[in-house]
Structure 1
Amino acid sequence: MTQSTDFQLADFLPYQLSITSNAVSDLISERYRSRFGLKVTEWRVMAILGDRGSHGGQLTQRDLTKATVMDKVAVNRACKVLEERGLVARVANESDGRSHLLALTGEGEAIHSEVMPTARATESELFDGFDETEVASLRAMLAKLRAKAGALTDLSGR
């Protein structure tokens, strides 16, 4: 890849990824915000807990922060809201007395199961016009970028 001396923000990969992520998240969240009253951060926490819940998983806030790649303050705030709404339950972590385990409640699982078809339908709409090879390539490239960013973060000691 060649380096250009003319910097254009619109051509900068982190900017392109950020605005694409925001546009997609806004689209999906708008479709369930009015019905379920969930913000993007709250839905991401619920989605992770719902995915893990089907495998008997309870997660700590630290686990959720890592899985969602969100700021720990945002995850903490989302967990508190979800707990206050009765969508997430917090139980003592017997293996680590300093943390708690979180899991979806029955009501949280019901909402998760209602929102997922909406999210999947929106994903299908977004990929309309892409062929299977393009979708697979995009997913593979995103995974490769995430892995590379993680490796570079590890190298920088963060």
Structure 2
Amino acid sequence: MAVKAQKMNADVSLVLEDFIPYRLSVLSNRISARIAELYQAEFDLSVTEWRIIAVLGHFHALSANEVAARTAMDKVTVSRTVARLLERKLLKRRIDPVDRRKSVLDLSASGARMHARVAPLALQLEARLLSGFNAREHETLEALFDKLEVGLESLP
């Protein structure tokens, strides 16, 4: 049986250009890199800095672990990025009144102003990225993303 499995695996070839996880990763990296250039030039922000600002601008008052979960960034990256944003006074940190072992992050007044400046550009960039889609294609893309999320839940 092991010989049959080995032979079967030898006959299977992975064509990266057709492998959906690879394609999504490369496309995401290319989009992020392009957007990063604009955020850096316009606002002196990295993509990771903007992601944290965007998440806190939407959800408010999150722990660093919650930020990591909502951005799908690793905790070390979040920690380093939060430190830079705190140093730039774009974030504020306070002790959670319910659990004094936990700190809570939120946008400072200047962070909120930064969010208000960057969000319209982010929406414009998204609109330009999707400008080749009609309304139905856009809806289909959203539905496909939802299906990929469900599919992700079925992975070990």
Q: What corresponds to 1:72 in structure 2?
A: 75
- Which letter maps to 2:67? L
Q: Which stretch shifts more, 30-39 or 122-131?
A: 30-39
SS of structure 1 residue aligned to 2:94: strand
Question: Do the aligned partners of 2:95 and 2:102 also contact (CA within 8 Å) in 1?
Answer: yes
Question: Do the aligned partners of 1:31 and 1:118 also contact (CA within 8 Å) in 2?
Answer: no
Q: Any runs of at least 4 consecutive aligned residues in structure 1 with deviations exceeding 6 A, and if so which? A: none
Q: What corresponds to 1:49 in structure 2?
A: 56
Q: What is the 5 A alignment of 1:19-58?
A: 19-52=26-59, 57-58=60-61
Q: What corresponds to 1:94 in structure 2?
A: 97
Q: What corresponds to 2:122 in structure 1?
A: 119
Relative to the length of structure 2, the TM-score reads 0.88
Q: What corresponds to 2:17 in structure 1?
A: 10
Higher relative contact order (CA 8 A, sep 6+): 1
Which protein is bigger by CA-based radius of gyration?
Answer: 2
Relative to the length of structure 1, the TM-score reads 0.87
Equivalent position to 2:85, from 68, 82, 90: 82
Instruction: Give the gaps of 5 or more residues in structure 2.
Output: 1-10
Separation of aligned partners in 1, 2:149 and 2:32 = 18
Q: What corresponds to 1:140 in structure 2?
A: 143
CA root-mean-square deviation? 1.6
Q: Which stretch shifts more, 129-138 or 143-152?
A: 143-152
Alignment coverage as a number of residue pairs: 147
**How much does 1:151 deviate?**
4.1
